[in-house]
Amino acid sequence: MSSNNKSTPGQRFRDAVASEHPLQVVGAINANHALLAKRAGFKAIYLSGGGVAAGSLGVPDLGITGLDDVLTDVRRITDVCDLPLLVDVDTGFGSSAFNVARTVKSMIKFGAAAIHIEDQVGAKRCGHRPNKEIVSQQEMVDRIKAAVDARTDDSFVIMARTDALAVEGLESALERAAACIEAGADMVFPEAITELEMYKLFAARVKAPILANITEFGSTPLYTTEQLKSANVSLVLYPLSAFRAMNKAAENVYTAIRRDGTQQNVIDTMQTRMELYDRIDYHTFEQKLDALFAAKK
**Which residues have a Cβ under 8 Å from the Cβ of 12 and sit 6 or more positions away?**
6, 82, 83, 84, 113
Answer for the pair 50, 240: CB distance below 8 angstroms, yes or no. Answer: yes
Distance CA 224, CA 85 (A): 22
CB atoms within 10 A of CB 84: 27
Distance CA 179, CA 208 (A): 12
Of 202, 10, 205, whose CA–CA distance to 213 is shortest?
202
Per-residue confidence (pLDDT) for residue 122, from 0 to 100: 73
Consecutive H or E run containing 116 = strand 114-118
171 is in an annotated binding site: no
Distance CA 139, CA 132 (A): 16
In the chain, the largest separation of any two C-alpha atoms, in whole Å, equals 73
Answer for the pair 279, 65: CB distance below 8 angstroms, yes or no. Answer: no
pTM metric for this prediction: 0.94
Of 189, 246, 239, 187, whose CA–CA distance to 25 is shortest?
239
68-77 long-range contacts, CB within 8 A, separation 24+: 71/106, 71/107, 71/110, 73/30, 73/47, 74/47, 74/107, 74/110, 74/111, 74/112, 75/110, 75/111, 76/30, 76/31, 77/28, 77/30, 77/31, 77/34, 77/45, 77/47
49 is in an annotated binding site: yes
Q: Which residues of the chain, if any, have pLDDT below 70?
A: 1-6
76 is in an annotated binding site: no
Per-residue confidence (pLDDT) for residue 296, from 0 to 100: 81
126 is in an annotated binding site: yes
162 is in an annotated binding site: no
Per-residue confidence (pLDDT) for residue 2, from 0 to 100: 44
Per-residue confidence (pLDDT) for residue 89, from 0 to 100: 97
- Give the 3-state secondary structure of residue 144: helix
Per-residue confidence (pLDDT) for residue 6, from 0 to 100: 62
CA torsion 30-214-166-181 (nearest 10°) is 80
Which residues are designated catalytic? Answer: 46, 61, 88, 90, 116, 118, 126, 161, 191, 213
Distance CA 28, CA 34 (A): 5
Per-residue confidence (pLDDT) for residue 160, from 0 to 100: 97
